[in-house]
Amino acid sequence: MITSLNVDDQHRLVEAIRRIDAMSVQRERVVHVQALERDLGHRLHYDHHDKDMLDVWALVDALLTYPGAAQALVRILQTFYPASLSVRALGDLVAELLPEPWLDQAERRELHELITSLERTDSVLTHLGRFPMLYRRAVGPAWPSLEREVRSLHDVVALLEEMPDGPDGTPPLLVFVNDVAEYAGYPTAGAFRDWVRRQVEAQGLDHAALQRGGGGSGGPAAVRGGPPEPPENYLVIECAPDALEADRYLVTAWLQVGREPGSTLYGSDEALPLSRIPELLERLLTAESSVIGRRGPDLTIEFILPRALLDHPVEQAKINIAGFEHRVGIRYPVVVRSLDRMRHAAVHHDWRHKWDWLSGHSVDPPVCLVARAGEYDKEELFSRLSTESTAVLALAFPPWGGESGEADEHWVGLVAGIPVVAWCRDGRYPAQFAREVKELMAADLMKLPRRTMELRRQALAGGAEGGGSGHLGLHLTLVFDDADRIPEPYVRLRPPA
């Protein structure tokens, strides 16, 4: 429920409605509710009851759920019964208990009619799984997630209309509808944009700068001043080992925009073999509307993998787009993240601390290079990696302790909180690897996933830059583990300040 009334006040509304002769009998009440639904531009969803008291109580619940609905009912009853004292009393009570909504009735009805049109013409875009993502972009991270039962976009719009403006004076509803316009196709997209434009002009805001909310800003998008760069898009695929079948994994996939909570795209109780992952990845990239219709063109693919799979060449998976089969790692930046580290909350402090340091010192940071397995005692390596300015680890050899569970150099780096770890899966001459890594990690390390994609392209480009099957781009695994984007199930709860 949006407008919250105590039981006594809600009971006053129920009794005021029941005192109106035309609303005291269900058969006649239904006629007036149908007229109300036409005026609102959408259905009122509530459970009907044989007992009049319960039925009217459910009606009042529905009226409180949609801004302006109670006021609209009063107007309809005043039209039918202009001299009725009981209708006048209901109007006075509604004015006392319920604030007048900021949208006028005609604009609200047009918006709901547009939503109804969208739902009829595009069932994919109105899938319930999209609403939490668009809602989160509109309200920012400070507001709680959608908890009430959401049947359609009408419910989300009703919820957003009564939310207060963001710090910049932008109503979250406008941010949300502007987002819906980006996802909608012909003919509704233009109508949604016209509706947003009228509201922005009426409030004296700058429509040209209207943009998505969220993106780490802490609230709805600013509509004054120039628009910033669109937030990064991440397609995240988590593979958790199945407890019953070895070599099978429980796979979850979601789309994340900036630092906002992700929108789940796939989740199943069926454990999949690794051979099925490319098929799922291809389907997400070519058939999932929220991925295809993302606002920003850039997309990074992240695989959250258990320790035993960190060395798996996920970027070499083949996908077929428009009849062209190619490796996913030459189309998108592909990185891996450690599922085991996410599950060990005790190491999150060091991980976050190093990520924070790296974020502020990302240009040409120091790199700890390990040329050979056993080059350092494990405690010696941990001590080297624990210095504040060490946040990048490069190894010329693959992990060797995953199957046995023994702590190899790669795992020591992850436990030490190192957010960026790179290694050659097939081993490398130390001097050659040091030279290649130094070149790869020069400049801004925050751009490393994209530079790694470019390295993979070079490996297949031929000519002077291509190096054939021995090129590092065909053998490099990159752990790029953003500690600010730990998925919610693995976030350690913090005590209140």
Q: Is 360 exposed, middle or buried (0-12, 13-18, 19+ CB in 10 A)?
A: exposed
Alpha-carbon distance of 242 to 250, in angstroms, equals 6
Q: What is the pLDDT along the chain (497 residues), one digit of tens a residue?
A: 445 688 999 999 999 999 999 898 888 999 999 999 888 888 888 888 989 899 999 999 989 888 888 999 999 999 999 999 999 999 999 999 888 777 888 888 888 888 888 777 655 444 445 566 677 777 766 565 665 556 677 888 888 887 777 766 778 888 888 878 776 665 677 788 888 888 888 877 765 545 544 433 433 343 333 344 567 899 999 999 999 998 999 999 999 988 777 889 999 889 999 999 999 999 999 999 889 988 788 999 999 999 999 999 999 999 999 999 999 999 999 999 999 999 999 999 999 999 999 999 998 899 999 999 999 999 999 999 999 899 999 999 999 876 667 899 999 999 999 999 999 998 888 899 999 999 999 889 999 999 999 999 999 987 555 566 789 999 999 999 999 899 877 765 444 43
In angstroms, the Cα distances linking 190 to 193, 312, 458 are 5, 46, 42
| Per-domain residue ranges of the chain | 7-97, 105-209, 234-489
Alpha-carbon distance of 388 to 465, in angstroms, equals 36
Q: What does the block give as tokens for 258?
A: 């900036």
Q: What is the pTM of this model?
A: 0.61
Radius of gyration, alpha carbons of the chain: 28
Beta bridge partners of 303: 237, 336
Q: What is the pLDDT of residue 126?
A: 45
Q: What is the pLDDT of residue 357?
A: 94
Alpha-carbon distance of 257 to 235, in angstroms, equals 9
At position 184, the amino acid (one-letter code) is A
**DSSP code of residue 374:** T
Q: What is the total residue count of the chain?
A: 497
Q: Which residue has the tokens 């937030």?
A: 231
